[in-house]
Amino acid sequence: MITQVLIGILSGAAILTAGILIGHYGISQSSSGAPPSWLKDVAKDVDESLIEKFLSEVDNIQIQENLRELTKVPHMATTAGDEQTVQFMLKRWQDPETGLDQAWREEYMVYLSFPDPKNPNKVTVVSPSDTVLHTAREKEKSYTPDQDDPEVVQPYAAYSPAGHAKGKLVYANQGKPSDYQLLNQTIDLRGTVAITRYGGAGRAAKAINAAPYGVLGVLVYTDPLDINDGLMSDIDETYPHSWYLPPSGVERGSFNTHYGDLLTPYLAAKEETYRIPAENITGIPHIPIQPIGFEDAYTLICELGEEAAPAAWQGAFNCTYNFGGPGFKSTSYFNNSDVKLDIFNHEEVKNSSNVMGVIRGSVEPDRYVIYGNHRDSWVHGAIDPSSGTSVMLELTRVLGSLVQQGKWRPRRSMIFGSWGAEEFGLIGSAEYTEQYFAKLSERTVAYVNVDIAVFGKWLHLRMTKNPLVGYLSGAGSDYAAFVHYLGITSMDISYTYDRTKTNARIYPAYHTAYDTFDYASRFIDPGFVSHQAIARTAGNVLIRLADSLVLPLNCSDYAEILEDYLGTAMTLYEHQLRARNISMEPLKRAVASFRSAAAHLDRVIRTSDLANETPLKVRRINDQLMLLDRAFLDPLAFPDKHAYRHVIWASSDAGKPTFPGLADAFATAESSGQSRHWDKVHYHLSVLSQAIEGAAHTLLITKL
C-alpha cells in the first residue's frame, strides 16, 4: 500500500485526467490514393471521446455491489472463502457480455503460516506460583455478525515460530535496533518478553532485532496514539461509532522480511520446484511473537515497573510507559509475575491462485499494460484489498463491454492480475514475475496497482511520482516485484486522507476483523463516490498507457529525481567521501549525461511528426521509454535484499531522500568506520554511476 512511481505521471494537474500525457499527437491521414488498411491503425492516438465514454460509464453502485459480494465471507489466502472469490472473478471476467478476451487461473504451491483453530495462541500473565492472573483476548470483540464468522482467523503473526516463551515483561517502544539498544543500557534483557507497538520497524524486525539481546518472546500492539488520535472507548468513540479501532482490535500481518514464496527464492513455486529447507529461510523471527489488542496492552504496560521510558516512547494510555523492571511494579497485582506466550502456529505448503485476464492489443499485442491487485484478505478485507478489487471489476466491466460490443480494442494488450497470498508477502505477484520473467521484462510498458483504493475520509488523491514515501517499507503491495525485481515502471493509486486531520498511521481497521462492508460503507466511503473516482482515474491511466501513440512516460522527470537525489547525496556525503579519496565526480557526470540524454529524447519526440513517420520510429521511442527503468537493474547491487535490483528505487534503511544503496552503505561505513565498509560505498557509487550512464545511453539515438 505504499505509494509508488510511474515516471512522468502527474506532471499535469487535473485530478481525473491526471495530466499523464506528455505530448499528444493528432492523426493526420497520409496523402492521396489507397494506402494499406493498417496505416491508419498504426498511427492512431488515444481517443479522448472513448475516455469520456469510459468515465461516464463507471458506476459507484456497481462498485458497492462488487464489494458486498467480495466481502460476504472472510477470504484469507487458500481458504474456502478465497476460492469463492476466485470463482467470482473468473465468472465476471469470462462473462460473454462484459468480460475480457480470456481469463484463467494460475496456481502456485506456496509456503504459508497459520494458527491452530483447535489450539489457539495464548498470551497470559502468570504468577510465580503459576497462577494465571490475566489472559489476553483470543478473538476480537463482535459488534456485527461479521465478526462471529467461524472463519475469522485468530489474530497472529504469520511466520512466527511455534513455541513457548515466559519471562519478565519490558517495554521496547517500536522494536527498532536503537530501541533495544537503549533499553539494554538500563536492563538486562536476557530471559525477558518485550512488548512493542506497531510502527517504526517492519513487523518481523521487532522480533529479529530482539533476539540477539536474549529476549525470549515479543508482543506487538497498536497504540491508540498511532491509530485512534488517542481515542480508546468503544462505548462512544471507536467502531461501530466511528472509523477508529476498538480496544480489542488486532492488526494481523506477515512477519517476514523478504517478499515472494520463502521456500523458492527467484523460482516460481510450482509443484516440483526445488524448495530450500525451511531452516534456511532468512528474514523471519526465530523467537515467538504475537499481536494483541490495545486493551490488553494497556493492562500490561501500565503495570510495568522501574524507570519511565523516554518521551518519544510514550503512547496514549493514561499512565507512564515504564521500561519494566524487567517486570511489573512491586505495587502491582502482577508483581513478580511473568508474561507467557504459547504459540501454536504451523507452516504449510498450500495451493494459491492468481486469476488472470487479458484484452488483446490490436496494433501492438506484444506490449503489455498490467493492472493488478491482490484478492486475499486477512479477514473480510473490505478495504484491504476488496476496495481495489471492486474498482478493478468495475473497470474491467466497462472496458470488457466495449470490447465485447466491438466498439474498442486497445492498441497494446492489457493484462489484469488478481493476485493470491499477498498478505503473506506479496506471493502471488512475485511468483508471477518469476515465472514469466523474460516475457514481462521484454514487453511490459507499465504496472498499475490499486490495492486499498480508498484509505479514508478527508480525501487526498495519492498518485505521486515521488517514491520517498516508500522508503522505509520498500514493498508495501504487489507493485514490489514489478518495480524492484523486473524494473517495470510502476504506479500505486489510492485515495488517502489528509494527514492534518488525523494522526492514524493507516485506516484503523487495517488487518482486523472490523474491515468489513459495514465499516467501508459507513466510515470510509459512503455512496462509494471515492471508489468511483479511483476507478475513473485508474481506467484513464490504463487507457492512455494502452492507446497513446507515444507512451505517456517522461524521461525528463526521471532526470529531475536523479538530480534531487544527487543534490542530497552531495550535501550529506561529499565532504566525508572526499576525505577518504572517494570521488563523487563520476556520479555527477552520470546524472548530467542522463539529463542531457533525456532532453535529447524529449526534443526528438517534440520535433517529430510521429503519426506520419514510419511506425518503427514511434516504436523505437516507446521502447526507449518502456525500457528506461530496466536499465537501472543490477542483480548484484543488493546481495542482502531479496529481489531488489533497481538501484534507484530499492528500499533503504537509512531513511534519506537519496540513492538507497549509497545511503545504506554510507550509514554502515560511518557507524563502523571500517575501511572495507568505505570500500563498499565506493563500490556502490560505481554501480550507481555506471547504471545511470548506461540508462542515459539508452536514451540516445544518434550515438550507437
Question: Which stretches of the chain bind its own copies, using CB under 8 A?
Answer: 30-36, 38-39, 41-42, 264, 266-268, 270, 272-274, 358, 360, 363-366, 368, 413, 415, 434-439, 442, 583, 585-586, 612-616, 619-620, 623-624, 627, 630-631, 635-636, 679, 682-683, 685-687, 690, 693-695, 697-698, 701, 704
Options 140, 422, 423, 434, the catalytic residue: 422
**Residue number with CB closer to its own copies (214 or 586):** 586
CB of 278 to its own copies, least distance (A): 13
Q: Integer distance in angstroms from the first to the last C-alpha of the chain?
A: 40
Q: Greatest CA span in the chain, whole angstroms?
A: 99
Contact 308, 321 (CB under 8 A): yes
CB 186 within 8 A of CB 306: yes
CA–chain centroid gap for 665, Å, is: 24
Shortest Cβ 704–its own copies spacing (Å): 5
Does residue 422 have an active-site annotation?
A: yes
Cβ neighbours of 671 (radius 10 Å): 9
Cα separation, 360 vs 370, in Å, equals: 12
What DSSP assignment string belongs to 346-374?
EEEEEEEEEEEEEE--SSEEEEEEEEEEE
Q: Least CB distance from residue 700 to its own copies, whole Å?
A: 8
CA 475 to chain centre: 5
Q: Is 59 exposed, middle or buried (0-12, 13-18, 19+ CB in 10 A)?
A: middle
Provide, rounded to whole angstroms, the least separation between the CB of residue 150 and its own copies. Answer: 38
Q: What is the smallest separation between the CB atom of 439 and its own copies, expressed in angstroms?
A: 5
CB burial string 583-594: b at 16+ within 10 A, e below: ebeebbebbbbb
Q: With 0-12 CB in 10 A as exposed, 13-18 as middle and 19+ as buried, what is 461?
A: middle
Closest to its own copies by CB, 408 vs 436, is 436
Least CB distance to its own copies at residue 511 (A):
33
Give the Å distances, CA to CA, from 549 to 7, 465, 542, 611. 17, 22, 14, 8
In whole angstroms, the minimum distance from the beta carbon of 403 to its own copies comes to 14
Q: Which is nearer to its own copies, 408 or 437 (CB)?
A: 437
How far is Cα 392 from Cα 403, in angstroms, rounded to an integer? Answer: 16
Could you tell me where the DSSP H helices lie in 118-240?
177-186, 203-208, 224-227
The dihedral of CA 621, 623, 624, 629: what is its sign?
A: positive
Of 204 and 555, the one with the shorter C-beta distance to its own copies is 555
Q: How many CB atoms lie within 10 A of CB 640?
A: 8
Cis peptide before 240 (omega within 30 of 0): yes
Q: Which is nearer to its own copies, 220 or 555 (CB)?
A: 555
Min dist. Cβ of residue 64 to its own copies (A): 31
Q: Is 619 exposed, middle or buried (0-12, 13-18, 19+ CB in 10 A)?
A: middle
* CB closer to its own copies out of 274 and 311: 274
Instruction: Give min distance, CB of 695 to its own copies, in A.
Output: 6
Taking the complex as a whole, the smallest distance from the CB of residue 436 to its own copies amounts, in Å, to 6
- Count CB neighbours of 438 within 10 A: 8
CA-to-CA distance for 251 and 231, rounded, in angstroms?
17
DSSP one-letter code for 18? T
The Cα 483–Cα 648 span in angstroms is: 10
Q: How far is the CB of 88 from its own copies (least distance, A)?
A: 22
Nearer to its own copies, 177 or 694 (CB): 694
Beta-sheet strand order (sheet of 412-419): 102-114, 346-359, 412-419, 364-374, 444-449, 490-492
Q: Of 418, 353, 357, nearest to 385 (Cα)? A: 418
Q: Nearer to its own copies by C-beta: 127 or 583? A: 583
Cα angle 165-171-175, degrees, rounded to a multiple of 5: 85
How would you class 117 by CB atoms within 10 Å of its CB: exposed for 0-12, middle for 13-18, buried for 19 or more? exposed
Comparing CB distances to its own copies, the nearer of 26 and 128 is: 26
Cell numbers found for residue 2: 505504499
The answer to whether 656 and 669 have CB atoms below 8 angstroms apart is no
Minimum Å gap between C-beta 41 and its own copies is 7
Determine contact, residues 399/414, Cβ cutoff 8 Å.
yes
Distances (CA, A) of 32 to 35, 37, 39, 45: 8, 13, 13, 21
Judged by CB, which is closer to its own copies: 342, or 364? 364
Compute the distance between CA of residue 327 and CA of residue 310 in angstroms, rounded to an integer: 18
User: Residue 409 or residue 511: which is nearer to its own copies going by CB?
Assistant: 409
Task: Using the minimum distance from each CB to its own copies, give the nearer residue, 187 or 358.
Answer: 358
Active site residues: 422
